[in-house]
Chains A and B, each alone.
Chain A
């Protein structure tokens, strides 16, 4: 199972990297979203899969699945959501002010 998931993570990472390297800002944002999916899966996989029960003390019996990666991922999900929302609005505002969503045209001032 772990091997299979890691292969999947590899595919997700490759796709995300390709998307991030493009010029269109929406593709880049989607790329970061896919990246965070891949990373969440990676963290979970590192804590071993399907070993033990749901980490709810009163509901299930020991052994429990590793709860620490889960807690980390929960934080990561929320943060990546915040980042995605922020860049989306940034893209919106940039397009409103500058009129393009092509990053090659957003190179900044010449004389910096």
Chain B
């Protein structure tokens, strides 16, 4: 029986094995071995495409903590299929590419271990039906992304970028977790499918809105939506295969996945429509606007990714409006936005993956990604240029590439949305097509930057460290496959639509009946209509803007670097570090006495305070055992001996007084029917006293303590208070008899353990494990004593700890 759970687990298993087996791969690149995993998984999943396309879903549950409703339930439907194919498909190409990108001298076992960890976690995110399991995998992707960004951890920028990505995505993840818990409070279920089916009853619930906002926070931080987009450009410090894989094709799309998955849950609400589509639109514009100013090609691609993620996000927002109207011929029109989102999701992964790999090739072969140092590479690197051209034109939305199709559908969706009459101001709807159009113009400009600045124009070999040459064939395979897909999807979009997108549509609109109605026929030419005119406008205006780029580029200088979100993040981080430093230094001041005072005061306040608050104090002298004169004498002796210790002039006196206490207790043990204790106490007390005396010959005599009077008073008050609390608690507890004592059980010691001495039987048999651990403690203490006396650093290594 096929189980999706296994698909998730395989990458984890291989990742766990890598540290032990990588030494066997001395001769061959470790990547060849790892490559098997995503290819195998891709094939397994691809074989299921026809049955998923016919509407079949696969559910498999492995009970984890059923009492808490945490079950490892996987759910394979159309939506998770798209993502899983991207994860394994792009994953295979990226690993193939990385074999030629990373030399064997790098610590490849770490790299591939993290990459497989990510792959497993990401598959877990898209396949999990249980929200808690989804959350765990979600955070795991953040962790593996952190490890991969900081792969070259000797670079400060890598560590900074990794930390930034981690902090932002994990805070969003925690917000999402709270949202999940709210969903569980509302619906009583952690299963996404059950929540979807019962959600319509809860749309007026007080927690509905907070849960929606918190879940969206998780999605927006992960998918680098404005204003959380700032982590993505810094994440570009990762090796390029990682950027291509995590930070453009898969991980950043986890937020998209989450929004698509939760559209049936929250989508019927107007707020969802507004937040998702407006945030997406802002991100789309801001990303493309900032991409134009970048000179580092990888940073350009990072901002372009932000922009494209915003595009997909806004499409999902626009598509959710169909759920407000319910199923009708009109609302089916709006679902096309969601169709375009899923379509563009795939297209973006193909052309952006190819472009990232091209930039990686430039970086790897020429040693730079700076467009100011590149130029005229077309004649030297024809294959790389072809891939870059295909990718860029597709991203710009030109035919005959897949980006053209989804871009046109995007324009169409924004035009349709103008006709919806839910806007309070009729003219407000025009904002969507306008913003979309402006952002597309900027997209066209930065695509032109890639093609014209890097590959056309005059070569500048004097600015490069290495001679210009074409990349090895191995590095070109993966980007060429992606470029082929870019063209292939343009000519056969309906194949993709029917087998991959159609089942996903029914996941997003489960109440809309037949998914066939939701799958529009994609065609490149559909007459002269608004979206075609928009595209032509984009090309004309974009070309003009690119031509005169150097005249209007100074407007970027108008944005002060002090008021950016980056500056806000840095200030927040720096001030929280310094503030917590101050606070910690205030109470962690290195004085043992202060630390102990915290403990004692805490004890007094909580235990004493609760005793007072709960009025639990009780005192009954009638149940006391009788006492004799000599016992009172012994108590008096101990009390006097203890108090004299405080005033002892020499340490010898104090030690002997401690001995008096110990021996008196031994006598008490005799009186209280505990012969074993008395014997042990006598022996231990003798040895302890001898040990003290032995240590004294090596330690200085103590001087009279010169403490300030205030300190002495504080110490005295704390001591008396601690003593008092112990007395009060002791008096209240000694008569406590709410529960049956368990000691009678041990009185069968002879039958149960074969020992007549009950204490011995308890130690050696009933609680034998405790005793064994006690022996271990003794052993460790003995080791410590031995090593402290015998082992010393040699003179010449004296500074070994510095």
Contact A4 B627 (CB under 8 A): yes
A70 touches B677 (CB 8 A): yes
Contact A107 to B661, CB < 8 A, known contacts A71-B767, A82-B778, A89-B784: no
Q: By DSSP majority rule, is chain B's interface helix, strand, loop, or mixed? A: helix
From A14, A52, A62, A68, give the contact of B673 (CB < 8 A).
A52
Contact (Cβ within 8 A) A15 B643 = yes
Alpha-carbon distance A82/B734, docked complex (angstroms): 29
B600 on the A face (CB < 8 A): yes
| Contact size range, B | 35 or more
User: In the complex, are the beta carbons of B673 and A53 less than 8 A apart?
Assistant: yes
Asked if B695 lies at the interface with its beta carbon under 8 angstroms from chain A, I say yes
Shortest beta-carbon distance, B230 to chain A, in Å?
32
Report A25-82 residues with CB < 8 Å from chain B CB. 26-30, 33-34, 37-38, 40-42, 44-59, 62, 64-68, 70-71, 73-75, 77-79, 81-82
Within 8 A of A (CB), among B113-157: none
Question: Is the C-beta of B614 less than 8 angstroms from some C-beta in chain A?
Answer: no
Say how far B780's CB is from chain A's closest CB, in angstroms: 8
Q: Is B668 an interface residue (CB 8 A)?
A: yes
Tell me which of B344-352, B450-458, B555-563, B712-720 binds A: B712-720
Q: Is the CB of B756 within 8 A of A23?
A: no
Q: How far is the CA of A27 from the CA of B704 in the complex (A)?
A: 11
CB <8 Å contact, A67 and B591: no
Report chain A residues within 8 Å CB of B749: 57
Check if B726 sits within 8 Å of A9, measured CB to CB. Answer: yes
Q: How far apart are B596's CB and chain A's nearest CB, in angstroms? A: 6
Interchain CA distance A7-B727 in the complex, whole Å: 6
> Of A41, A54, A75, which is within 8 A of B665 by CB?
A41
Chain A residue at minimal CB-CB distance from B763 = A71
**Does B104 belong to the interface (CB within 8 Å)?**
no
In the complex, how many angstroms separate the beta carbon of A34 from the nearest chain B beta carbon? Answer: 6
- The interface bits of chain B over 646-683 (1 if a CB of A lies within 8 angstroms of the residue's CB, else 0) are 10000100110010011001001101111111001100
A6 to B632, CA, bound (A): 13
Does B757 count as interface, using CB distance less than 8 angstroms?
Answer: yes
Chain A nearest CB from B706 CB (Å) reads 9
Known: A55-B759, A92-B695, A93-B788. A30 touches B672 (CB 8 A): no
How far, in Å, is A72 (CB) from chain B's closest CB? 9
Interface residues in A2-16 by Cβ distance below 8 A to B read 2-15
Tell me if B758 and A67 are in contact (CB < 8 A): yes
Q: How far is the CB of B182 from chain A (nearest CB, A)?
A: 41
Quote the shortest CB–CB distance from B405 to chain A (angstroms).
60
The docked-state distance in angstroms from the alpha carbon of A35 to that of B500 is 72
Residue of A nearest to B706 (CB): A23
Contact B723 A23 (CB under 8 A): no
A2 to B734, CA, bound (A): 8
- Asked whether, in the complex, the Cβ of A34 is within 8 Å of the Cβ of B658, the reply is yes
Q: In the assembly, what is the distance between CA of A104 and CA of B471, in Å?
A: 66
Kindly list chain A residues whose C-beta atoms are within 8 Å of the C-beta of B778.
Answer: 78-79, 82
Q: Are A93 and B789 interface neighbours, CB within 8 A?
A: yes
Q: Are A95 and B645 in contact (CB under 8 A)?
A: no
CB atoms of A6 and B730 under 8 A apart: yes
Indicate whether A55 sits within 8 Å of B705 (C-beta atoms), given known contacts A1-B626, A4-B635, A82-B778. no
Contact with A along B757-785 (1 / 0, CB 8 A): 11100110001001100100110011011
Interface centre among B626, B673, B720 (most CB of A within 10 A): B673
Neighbouring B residues of A70 by C-beta, 8 Å: 674, 676-677, 759
In the assembly, what is the distance between CA of A56 and CA of B506, in Å? Answer: 77
Report the Cα distance A89→B715, complex, angstroms. 26
Residues of B within 8 A of A2 (CB): 623-625, 734
Stretch at the interface among B307-315, B369-377, B686-694: B686-694
Q: How far is the CA of A81 from the CA of B781 in the complex (A)?
A: 10
> Residue A18 contacts which of B669, B692, B716 (CB distance < 8 angstroms)?
B716
Q: Are A74 and B643 in contact (CB under 8 A)?
A: no
In the complex, A105 Cα to B673 Cα: how many Å?
A: 46
* Other-chain contact of B707, A6, A22, A65, A66 (Cβ < 8 Å): A22
Known pairs A13-B722, A18-B646, A27-B702; A1 contacts B785 (CB<8 A): no
Cα A45 to Cα B723 in complex, Å, equals: 16
Q: How far is the CA of A88 from the CA of B788 in the complex (A)?
A: 11
Q: A46, B733: Cβ atoms under 8 Å?
A: yes
Given contacts A21-B715, A37-B661, A42-B726, contact A103 B593 (CB under 8 A): yes
CB within 8 Å for A26 and B658 given contacts A52-B673, A57-B757: no
- B758 partner residues in chain A, CB cutoff 8 A: 55-57, 64, 67
**What residues of chain A lie closer than 8 Å to B590, measured between beta carbons?**
107-108
Chain B residues positioned under 8 Å from A68 (CB to CB): 742-743, 746, 762
Most A CB within 10 A of own CB, among B597, B619, B719: B719
A-B contact pairs, 5 of them (CB 8 A): A7-B727, A12-B723, A21-B718, A65-B673, A81-B687
The 6 A-B residue pairs with the shortest CB-CB distance, nearest first, are A14-B723, A107-B590, A10-B727, A67-B758, A82-B781, A71-B762
Binding site for A on B (CB under 8 A): 589-593, 596-597, 600, 619, 621, 623-627, 631-632, 635, 638-639, 642-643, 645-646, 651, 654-655, 658, 661-662, 665, 668-669, 671-677, 680-681, 684, 687-688, 691-692, 695-696, 698-700, 702-703, 705, 707, 715-716, 718-720, 722-724, 726-727, 730-731, 733-734, 741-743, 746-747, 749-750, 756-759, 762-763, 767, 770-771, 774, 777-778, 781-782, 784-785, 788-789
Give chain A's interface residues, CB within 8 Å of chain B: 1-15, 17-24, 26-30, 33-34, 37-38, 40-42, 44-59, 62, 64-68, 70-71, 73-75, 77-79, 81-86, 88-93, 95-96, 101, 103-104, 106-108
